C-alpha cells in the first residue's frame, strides 16, 4: 500500500510488518493482563460483567502500586469517571490509570496527570493550599516529619519563585510542565510511576 492512501493506512504502513505484529501482540497481552488484574479486584459474582462493572475505591487502593502512594486517594479521584463521586473505577478508568503509570507514557502525559493529582481543590491551578497539602503528603503527617509554619512558608515561597512564571501567586499547568521539562528525572523519580 502506498503511504498516505487513507487516514489509517498511511501511518500504519510506515511500520515494518514484523514490528507491527510485535506491537499488536504486546499491546494485546498488556490489555489481557490489565483485564485480569481488574477482574480480580471484583467480587467473584461480578466477574462475568467485568467490562460494565465498577471496582470500589477500597479495592483499587489495595493495588501494590497504590498501597504506599501518598497520593492514592487523589489518584483514584482523578482517574475515576464515577458520576456518584465514590471514586470507583470502570475498566476504562483502570486502563487509563495503568497507561499513565506505564514506562511508555510521555513526560507530558505524566506531568498533566501529576498536575491534576496535585490540584487538590480541582480549580485548575496549584495555589498555596494545594502546595501545602502536597508537601504534607510528601513529608507525612507525623509530628516528627511535619514542617513548622515558617519552614512551610519558606518552601512554598521557593516553589512559587521557581515555578510561578506570570507571578500571579499560583502555578498553572503550563508553568508546571515548564518546570517538569527542566527535570529529566521527573518521569522516573518524581512523577507518576507504576
Range 122-129 contact pairs with CB under 8 angstroms and sequence separation of 24 or more: 124/172, 124/173, 125/170, 125/171, 125/172, 126/170, 126/171, 126/172, 126/176, 127/169, 127/170, 128/156, 128/160, 128/169
| Predicted pLDDT at 69 | 94
The segments of the chain whose pLDDT lies below 70 read 1-26, 141, 184-194
Q: Mean pLDDT, the chain, as a whole number?
A: 85
| Predicted pLDDT at 182 | 87
Domains of the chain and any CATH numbers: 27-105 (1.10.238.10), 107-193 (1.10.238.10)
| Predicted pLDDT at 3 | 40
Q: Name the β-bridge partners of 171.
A: 126
Tell me how far apart the alpha carbons of residues 113 and 99 are, in angstroms, rounded to a whole number: 11
| Predicted pLDDT at 104 | 87
| Predicted pLDDT at 13 | 44
Classified as helix, coil or strand, 89 is strand
Question: Which residue is associated with the grid cell 497507561?
Answer: 99
Note the pLDDT tens digit of each residue in 101-113: 998 899 999 999 9
Q: Which residues contact 87 (CB under 8 A, 6 or more apart)?
A: 57, 60, 73, 76, 77, 80
Query: Which three cell numbers, joined as nine digits, stand for 8?
Result: 489509517
| Predicted pLDDT at 146 | 84
pTM equals: 0.79
| Predicted pLDDT at 186 | 67
Q: How far is CA 165 from CA 9, 133, 135, 155, 160, in A?
A: 43, 21, 20, 17, 8
| Predicted pLDDT at 151 | 95
Tell me how far apart the alpha carbons of residues 57 and 76 are, in angstroms, rounded to a whole number: 7
Q: Which residues contact 118 (CB under 8 A, 6 or more apart)?
A: 71, 74, 126, 130, 134
Question: Which residue is associated with the grid cell 497539602?
Answer: 133
Amino acid at each position: 500500500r502506498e503511504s498516505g492512501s487513507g487516514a489509517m493506512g498511511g501511518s500504519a504502513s510506515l511500520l515494518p510488518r514484523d514490528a507491527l505484529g510485535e506491537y499488536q501482540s504486546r499491546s494485546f497481552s498488556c490489555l489481557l493482563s490489565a483485564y485480569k488484574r481488574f477482574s480480580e479486584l471484583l467480587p467473584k459474582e461480578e466477574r462475568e460483567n467485568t467490562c460494565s462493572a465498577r471496582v470500589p475505591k477500597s479495592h483499587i487502593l489495595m493495588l501494590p502500586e497504590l498501597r504506599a502512594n501518598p497520593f492514592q486517594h487523589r489518584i483514584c479521584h482523578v482517574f475515576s469517571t464515577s458520576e456518584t463521586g465514590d471514586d470507583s473505577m470502570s475498566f476504562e478508568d483502570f486502563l487509563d490509570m495503568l497507561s499513565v503509570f506505564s514506562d511508555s507514557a510521555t513526560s507530558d502525559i505524566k506531568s498533566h496527570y501529576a498536575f491534576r493529582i496535585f490540584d487538590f481543590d480541582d480549580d485548575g491551578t496549584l495555589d498555596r493550599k494545594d502546595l501545602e497539602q502536597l508537601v504534607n503528603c510528601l513529608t507525612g503527617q507525623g509530628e516528627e516529619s511535619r514542617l513548622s509554619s515558617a519552614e512551610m512558608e519558606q518552601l512554598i515561597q521557593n516553589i512559587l519563585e521557581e515555578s510561578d512564571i506570570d507571578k500571579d501567586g499560583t502555578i498553572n499547568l503550563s508553568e508546571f510542565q515548564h518546570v517538569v521539562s527542566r527535570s529529566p528525572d521527573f518521569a522516573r523519580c518524581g512523577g507518576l510511576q507504576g
